[in-house]
Amino acid sequence: MIKSILLVGLGGAIGSILRYLSAILVSKYWNQAFPLATFIINMVGCLLIGLLIAFIEKQPGVSDNFRLLMVTGFCGGYTTYSAFAYENTSLIGSSQSLIAFAYIAASVLVGILFVWVGMYFGRLL
């Protein structure tokens, strides 16, 4: 149990740091109302989790430790729908509901599509 917790924590720490650095990079070039940094991070995370799940399904010898480290830890730390919910609340609160609803729709639809694409290509590997 301790090993599992440490693997999830390590993966989560690395994912969180990468998320933070990614957000800084995107924010350096994008200063609009649409929260592009979180959108990109969530979509990349959806694609990555699709690839990882497909890899794990295809390789039955992959350990549970790998899944804990990469899927639960890294992807869980990297993607954050809590920021997504907060940003939408802020957009709606600042009378930018149209942008909020566009963000919600795009995140859900593209996220589902990217998980599917990730799993499709992951199964081809």
pLDDT one-digit tens code per residue, 58-92: 998 899 999 999 999 999 999 877 888 989 999 99
Position 29 scores a pLDDT of 96
Asked whether residue 76 is marked as a ligand-binding residue, the answer is yes
Q: Is 11 annotated as a binding residue?
A: no
Q: What is the pLDDT of residue 81?
A: 79
- What is the rounded CA–CA span in Å between residue 125 and residue 117? 13
Crossing angle (nearest 10°) for helices 36-58 and 97-124: 20
Which positions of the chain have pLDDT values less than 70? none
pLDDT of residue 77: 94
